[in-house]
Amino acid sequence: MRVIKENYLKLFSISILLIVLIVGISIFFNQSTKSDKPIILNLLTSVHPNLPWTFKPINSNIIVKPGEVKTIDYIVENLDNRETSGIATFAYFPNQFGNYIRKLNCFCYDAQTLKANQKGKYSVVLLIDPEVTKDNKTKDIKEVTIQFTFFDYKEYKENKI
């Protein structure tokens, strides 16, 4: 009887040790791969003075979680009485965060043309790579600024800007 109790006690001790070990490993991996902490995207826009457009985000602050696909909409308007074309460039701050932003679709890839006094809505579809939470340079970033600037396409193409 005593041998049976000792065997049960050993089995029980080993089981408790395994449970503690599994829970510990689970907690460690959940914390190191956790990507549900939201990041605030501050959206800035500007238009070069030679392009008679207005360009603003519908929402200037967006909350996104790493791994989430997010569509961001902008309103643009041609203030001129003639058709004009513009092209957008972009920048990120902090710069190292740009390595983890994936533009799945963006109005910035091509020149955009608006007729006289035309308004439009442009969108960018972003994915924040979950790996951003594992990089020592970016894992603690809680706020990112994304800036788009529109330029007159003809001048931009001719490198006058």
Q: With DSSP H G I counted as helix, E B as strand and the rest as coil, what are the percentages for the chain, rounded to 5?
A: 30, 40, 30
Residue with tokens 């710069």: 95
| Average pLDDT of span 77-87 | 97
Instruction: Let me know whether 75 and 150 are in one domain.
Output: yes
Q: Is 159 exposed, middle or buried (0-12, 13-18, 19+ CB in 10 A)?
A: exposed
Give how many domains the chain has, as a whole number: 2
Six-digit token string for 92: 């990120």
Mean local confidence (pLDDT), 32-39: 67
pLDDT tens digits along 109-119: 999 999 999 99
Q: What is the pTM of this model?
A: 0.75
Q: Is 146 helix (H, G, I), strand (E, B) or coil?
A: strand
pLDDT band at 107 (very low <50, low <70, confident <90, very high): very high
Clarify whether residues 86 and 23 are in a common domain. no
State the DSSP code for 30: H
Task: Report CA-CA distances (Å) from 158 to 27, 129, 154.
Answer: 56, 35, 6
HSE-CB for 125 with a 13 A CA cutoff? 3
Q: How confident is the model over 94-106, as a mean pLDDT?
A: 93
| pLDDT at residue 121 greater than cutoff 80 | yes
Q: What is the CATH number of the domain that holds 45?
A: 2.60.370.10
- Residue given tokens 């920048």 in the structure block: 91
Confidence (pLDDT) at 151: 96
143-152 and 39-47 beta bridge pairing: parallel
Say whether both 23 and 50 belong to one domain: no
Give the pLDDT confidence score for residue 34 in this predicted structure. 44
Q: What is the distance of C-alpha 91 from the center of its chain? A: 12
> Of 65, 44, 55, 42, nearest to 86 (Cα)?
55
Do residues 135 and 66 share a domain? yes
> Residues 83, 140: one domain?
yes
pLDDT at 108 over 90: yes
Q: Are 40 and 144 in contact (CB under 8 A)?
A: yes
